[in-house]
Amino acid sequence: MGKLAQKGSIALLLLLMAVAFTGCAPTLADAGWSAVNADASTAYAALTTGKLFALNAASGLLRWQFPKADNERLAGLYGMPALTGNLVIFGGSDPATHAGTAYALDPATGDPRWSFKTGDAIVGGPTVYGGTVFVTSADRNVYALDVATGQQRWRFPTGSWVWSSVVVSGDTAYVGAMDSSVYALRASDGQQVWRFATAGAVPGTPAVANGLVYAGDLSSTLYAINAQTGQEVWRFKANNWIWGQPVVVDGTIYVSSLDHRVYALDAQTGQKRTNFAIQGAFETKGAVRAGPTFADGTLYVASEDQNLYALDAASGTQRWVFNAGGSLLTSPVVVDGSVYVATSNGKAFGLDAKTGAQRWVYPAPSK
């Protein structure tokens, strides 16, 4: 891990401990974690080196960078960029003030189309649904913006930081917050539908499937909540914090934990799928902060042990493992047979999704 990323990670851990045990919410000041998203032609990597890089998806060659000037940098690059076809939308922070800004860029050139400022860092990735982009901020607010113009449509204040991204199902937007809550909001106007109280802060993004909302917290608990009523259906206890967004596939929910494991549970009951890996859990050698990614029968697991694991989603059997040389704090993305992942020390990789063979790394090693 690079010195800056390591320093930020330690500071973040201390801040989270303060939140978990005291409820305090000091200002974030961090380089970020690095995150990537991709379409068929371009991988967009927000790296801890302070820029968003647009890379050729096949070769990893640089197409453009933002900010464009070599001597300009952003801080607080945490969340996955959102792609609309016409825009790339991501959050960053001013290195001096730590105030957050959502940027919308032209995907072909990197030229700015609009920007929207918040009062603190933007940790969760933006979410685009219909003509709206939902942005969350450590300034305690959830914002709904016009995706074409960046104009604010509504704002919902929570009781603490919001690091979660928004998940939308129908006309309801679901979001976790560090005030130990999961909120359901009316997506059209931001009115609260319900609030579910958790035992600990909720830093990660919920998942919604089959009428249930799934959210993990810093009490190491995963909750299944009725999406309509906000009533608890079941809960599952891990051995450390649950941060990453769960993924639901064919009646199974996969959830990661800082206890080094990814669990496979029955999505309706919360019972372990004991035929998955070892008694329902696959164990890595480091904390698993990021949620897993599912594609084509394979579960991709990014770990702080610097490894990306590809598992058979049904059995939990390891298909391959790739060492990225830096902690993996955000989820990988799979597009057209390639898997893309970014490290906390500022690198992005393109890999063969079936074999794990490296296709490229950015920045490329010096010759």
Q: Where are the alpha helices (DSSP H) in 31-90?
A: none
- CA 358 centroid distance within chain: 23
Q: Is residue 274 one of the residues assigned to a domain?
A: yes
Looking at residue 12, its pLDDT comes to 52
Rounded Cα gap, residues 137 and 248, in angstroms? 26
The CA distances from residue 196 to 53, 187, 267, in Å, are 38, 17, 19
Q: Taking the CB of residue 359, how many other CB atoms lie within 10 A of it?
A: 15
Looking at residue 92, its pLDDT comes to 96
Q: How do beta strands 152-157 and 167-169 pair?
A: unpaired
Looking at residue 16, its pLDDT comes to 55
Structural domain boundaries, residue 319? 238-367
Q: Is residue 177 one of the residues assigned to a domain?
A: no
Query: What CATH number is associated with residue 358?
Result: 2.40.128.630
pTM over 0.95: no
Q: Is residue 180 one of the residues assigned to a domain?
A: no
Looking at residue 22, its pLDDT comes to 38
Q: Is residue 7 one of the residues assigned to a domain?
A: no
Q: Taking the CB of residue 45, how many other CB atoms lie within 10 A of it?
A: 29
Q: Is residue 192 one of the residues assigned to a domain?
A: no
Least Cα distance to 167 among 212, 233, 109, 102 occurs for 212
Looking at residue 21, its pLDDT comes to 40
Rounded Cα gap, residues 43 and 39, in angstroms? 6
DSSP notation for 250-279:
TTEEEEE-TTSEEEEEETTT--B-TTTBBT
Looking at residue 30, its pLDDT comes to 74
Least Cα distance to 97 among 73, 119, 71 occurs for 119
Tokens encoding 295: 């594609």
What tens-digit pLDDT sequence spans the chain (367 residues)?
333 333 344 345 545 544 444 344 444 547 899 999 999 999 999 999 999 999 999 999 999 999 999 999 999 999 999 999 999 999 999 888 889 999 999 999 999 999 999 999 999 999 999 999 999 999 999 999 999 999 999 999 999 999 999 999 999 999 999 999 999 999 999 999 999 999 999 999 999 999 999 999 999 999 999 999 999 999 999 999 999 999 999 999 999 999 999 999 999 999 999 999 999 999 999 999 999 999 999 999 999 999 999 999 999 999 999 999 999 999 999 999 999 999 999 999 999 999 999 999 999 988 7
- Specify the amino acid at residue 304: E
Do 345 and 1 meet the contact criterion of CB atoms below 8 Å apart? yes
The CA distances from residue 33 to 66, 144, 192, 289, 340, in Å, are 17, 24, 31, 11, 15
DSSP 131: T
3-state SS assignment for residue 300: strand
Dihedral pair phi/psi, residue 15, rounded to 5°: -65, -40
Q: Is residue 47 one of the residues assigned to a domain?
A: no
Q: Is residue 324 one of the residues assigned to a domain?
A: yes
- Specify the amino acid at residue 165: S
- The number of distinct structural domains making up the chain is 1
Q: Is residue 201 one of the residues assigned to a domain?
A: no
Least Cα distance to 339 among 303, 297, 304, 308 occurs for 308
